[in-house]
Structure 1
């Protein structure tokens, strides 16, 4: 008999306190994977927002500040050339989300999320502060 495919989806909710912020959600994602009962498969981490992103990187205070600084430089908040700013004044966040991506897919092996030694999972806030941001985690496998 073949193994049974499991699909488990959980929603995380986080609040942000700054216009730009990296929120480490690694432990929460790992907990969802472990609780799913999936031994081998994939985990999709998805932020259903047009002004946020999901990235993997090291959790080191200086690096986090560097990443935020580069996102600000790259997306140019408040820049007069962004036509969308006429509507919401958040074109920078939409551009950042489109370029950095709202999702990451990671392997699950032997019931554990596989990530590199220095890879933590972050929600990237680019249009905060927000009372609530959602992150969907779907774990699929056997």
Structure 2
């Protein structure tokens, strides 16, 4: 059994942003050399998530619109009265309740087992941020 730990570091540029990291995760998977196993991806941020979904520009715009409408930034939130890090980001924490902090993807024949239209997205909910990290763990056999 082999285990490889890796990270993707990202800068985000918008308050809410959906970044396709699928190709980068595939490249890291290939580099890890795991032929059969499991990839686990985790955002260790409380206001950024990881998601599997369809890679299509209009759909990604619809997702952004939905997130902004679902829990608006300017709501009357207790967390914003005395924020811990001087960021009015209660909306980002609340949006995070409905999203995954991690995803697990099987690795078969050295490739991530994703559907034809699926990709991996890093979802920023409290940007912009100069540095965000997506941790990748590849576990299996070569």
The interval holding the TM-score normalised by the smaller chain is over 0.9
Cα RMSD for the two superposed structures? 0.9
**Cα distance, 1:98 vs. partner?**
2.6
1:44 aligns with 2:40: yes
Q: Which runs of 4+ in 1 moved over 6 A?
A: none
Asked whether the 8 Å contact 1:52–1:96 carries over to 2, the reply is: no
Residue correspondence of structure 1 range 56-135 to structure 2 within 5 A: 56-80=52-76, 82-86=77-81, 87=83, 88-135=87-134
Segments of structure 2 that go 5 or more residues without pairing to the other structure are none
Question: TM-score, length-normalised on structure 1?
Answer: 0.93
Secondary structure at 1:100's aligned position in 2? coil
Deviations 1:5-54 (A, max 9, x none): 01101011011110011011001100111111111110011111000111
Question: TM-score, length-normalised on structure 2?
Answer: 0.93
Q: Which moved more, 1:93-102 or 1:40-49?
A: 93-102
Aligned length: 137
Cα distance between partner residues in 2 of 1:54 and 1:96: 12
Segments of structure 1 that go 5 or more residues without pairing to the other structure are none
